[in-house]
Each structure stands twice: as C-alpha cells, then as structure tokens.
Amino acid sequence: MNVTVLDYGAGNVTSVERALRRLGATAVRTNRPEEIANADRIILPGVGHYAALINALDGQGLRQPLLAAISRGAKFLGICLGLQALYATSEEAPQLTGLGLLPGSVSQLPDAVKLPHMGWNQLKQPRHSRLLEGISPDDYFYFAHSYAAPSSGTEEAALCAYGREFVAVLEQNNIFAVQFHPEKSGAPGAKILENFLRVA
C-alpha cells in the first residue's frame, strides 16, 4: 500500500517512512502539489516550530492541493504539528493561518509544568475510534511539544493531560490526527499507524 508522506523538510519524515515500511506499506515522499492533490492517503508529519510547517505549506504551494485532497475524501493523518496545522491559528505564530479545518486555536501548555512536554504519557478518556482500535488505556505514547489543541468535545477521540487537558487523538470523517509521535511510540504507536492504514 502506498502512502503519500508530505516531505516539506520536517525532521521526522524518515522515521515515519521507516515505521510505515515495518508495517509493509510504502511511503511516497513528495512535496509536489499535483501528487498531493491526487493522493488517497496522506500523512502530514511535523516536529519543531509551527511557522516552519505553515510557511513550508504556503511556500511550496501545498496548502490548496492538500485541502482539495481532504475535501475529496482522501484519508489524512496529521502527526504532532500535523495535528496543530488543522486548526485555524496557533499562539506559536499568531500572524499565520492554519488549515482551518477545525475550529479553535492551538495554544501553549501552562508554564507551571516543564516544557516541552517531552516523553511518554497515557491517553485520557479514549472513546471508541477507528484509530484507537486495540489500544489499551495503559499504553504509553511519545510526546515532544509545548503547544497543543484545546478540547472542544466533538472531534477528539482521546485527550492527554499535562498542565492542562489537550487533544491527543482526533478523528472526524476522513481526518485523523495525533499529537504524539506514533513512529516513535513502540508497539502501540505502530498499532495506531496500522489502524490508519486499515481504514485508508
């Protein structure tokens, strides 16, 4: 199975590619607008600064093809910044505009806790979801971020708490996203990717 991985220069693209390969899928790395517009399964990885991702999407002309593919029904998985990009804006770069597929704004986790939120944490209040099929509440996932999406009560499949509650997993029709790094989260992470490949 081929999965289109948006390769706009993010650090974790290779890890995502390797994780997909371990599951028997082939990652097709691309930053070509026409390939993205025509893709059926798209992963948007991302780690680092929100502005780097949004600027890359706009600078490389990928925003419209990506939105077109998603509205056509292509299965989409956002990872880390790839989740945050789905919202309208982020406090990390307030002058930029996100993909705006979900309402609300990404904001910084409270500085009462050490930031970044770095390491292994568990999911909270997981509801039934295709992405979380076979995942136990005891499973840990690897997080590395300081900004996060607020819970709105509709699209999220699971929350996580660190300083405050935030969206860890979301699922809405053909849009899936995780704040943690499934490609770095051992067996449970691989299970999440496998679930995405199954629904896709």
Binding of other proteins at residue 95 (CB under 8 A)?
A: no
Binding of other proteins at residue 121 (CB under 8 A)?
A: yes
Q: State CA 183 to chain mean position distance.
A: 11
Active site residue 34: no
Give the one residue of 140, 150, 165, 172 binding other proteins; rule: CB under 8 A: 140
C-beta of residue 75 within 8 angstroms of C-beta of residue 174: yes
Tell me which stretch binds other proteins (CB under 8 A): 26-34, 55-63, 96-104, 182-190.
182-190
Q: State CA 34 to chain mean position distance.
A: 22
Count of all residues that appear for the chain in the document? 200
Give the one residue of 41, 63, 75, 181 binding other proteins; rule: CB under 8 A: 181
Active site residue 80: yes
67 CB burial (10 A radius; 0-12, 13-18, 19+): middle
Q: Which of 80, 145, 155, 194 is catalytic?
A: 80
Considering the complex, what minimum distance in angstroms separates the CB of residue 143 from other proteins? 8
Give percent helix, percent strand, percent coil of the chain, each to the nearest 5: 30, 30, 40
Kindly write out the interface string for residues 16-55 of this chain, putting x where it contacts other proteins by CB under 8 A and - elsewhere. --xx--x------------------------xxx--x---
Considering the complex, what minimum distance in angstroms separates the CB of residue 30 from other proteins? 17
Please state, in angstroms and as integers, the Cα–Cα distance from residue 116 to each residue in 47, 85, 147, 177, 190, following that order.
12, 18, 8, 20, 23
Binding of other proteins at residue 189 (CB under 8 A)?
A: yes
Active site residue 160: no
Binding of other proteins at residue 197 (CB under 8 A)?
A: no
For the chain, helix (H) and strand (E) counts, in that order, are 6, 12
Tell me which stretch binds other proteins (CB under 8 A): 32-40, 99-107, 112-120, 166-174.
112-120
Query: Which ranges constitute the DSSP H helices of the chain?
Result: 13-22, 33-37, 50-59, 63-72, 81-84, 186-199
For residue 1, the tally of other CB atoms under 10 A from its CB is 12
Nearer to other proteins, 82 or 189 (CB): 189
Binding site for other proteins (CB under 8 A): 11-12, 14-15, 18-19, 22, 47-49, 52, 111, 114-122, 124, 138, 140, 142, 144-146, 161-162, 181, 183-187, 189-190
- The residues assigned a catalytic role are 80, 181, 183
